[in-house]
A and B are shown apart, each in its own frame.
Chain A
Amino acid sequence: DADVTQTPRNRITKTGKRIMLECSQTKGHDRMYWYRQDPGLGLRLIYYSFDVKDINKGEISDGYSVSRQAQAKFSLSLESAIPNQTALYFCATSDRHNEQFFGPGTRLTVL
């Protein structure tokens, strides 16, 4: 089984809809991250969490919110999706050496 899993893997939604992307990890890491990847812009950090009670904004947090339900679970929400949030979304974890491990990604399309 994969160490970092994401659901759903693909999602098509309409403008204005609320959507949640979920991430689970079995690596036992305290640190978790959400990134988005866009062609030509690379990977950008949305939110990160060092433990259940420590959540921080990344460089592009506007329009997004997160929830750290447990050490192993970190969810990303789009309260009112818009087309420019169409992207590939990745969850990641890191160990005490700060080596990051990524999930398989969620391809989100907002129409």
Chain B
Amino acid sequence: KQEVTQIPAALSVPEGENLVLNCSFTDSAIYNLQWFRQDPGKGLTSLLLIQSSQREQTSGRLNASLDKSSGRSTLYIAASQPGDSATYLCAVPPSGSSNTGKLIFGQGTTLQVKP
């Protein structure tokens, strides 16, 4: 059964710092991996989608990497800003599913960037 873990659960950094958020999954046979951002009480915003054949994806100051063999993904945020403060979630398909669209979510890492 696919399980997703995100460590740490919370992170506080000063503005301008580069940081890495971690995501681990137990079943490496994933179809893709998606990173989301969630602001308090709000919906999820898709940040990056990495297909199984890809090693990384970049969008602005964000870079997500995928290492299927070790069951890990990292989200790198460069030059963090207070507006980056939010909860970051990663998600992968359940075990045994390919192109079903279903996702298993991690618990998230809550990031606070202090001015």
Contact = CB atoms under 8 A, between A and B. Distances in A.
A104 B43 CA distance: 4
A98 B45 CA distance: 14
Q: Give the interface size bracket for A toward B.
A: 20 to 34
Contact of A94 (B41, B42, B101): B101
Interface of B: 31-32, 34, 36, 41-46, 49, 51, 89, 91, 93, 99-103, 105-108
Classify the secondary structure of A's interface with B.
strand
Contact of B102 (A4, A45, A88): A45
Contacts of B108: 42
A92 B105 CA distance: 14
Contacts, number: 58
A78 B93 CA distance: 26
A90 interface: yes
B46 A48 contact: no
Contacts of B101: 31, 33, 48, 50, 94, 98, 100
Interface in A74-111: 88, 90, 92, 94, 97-105, 107
A18 B15 CA distance: 47
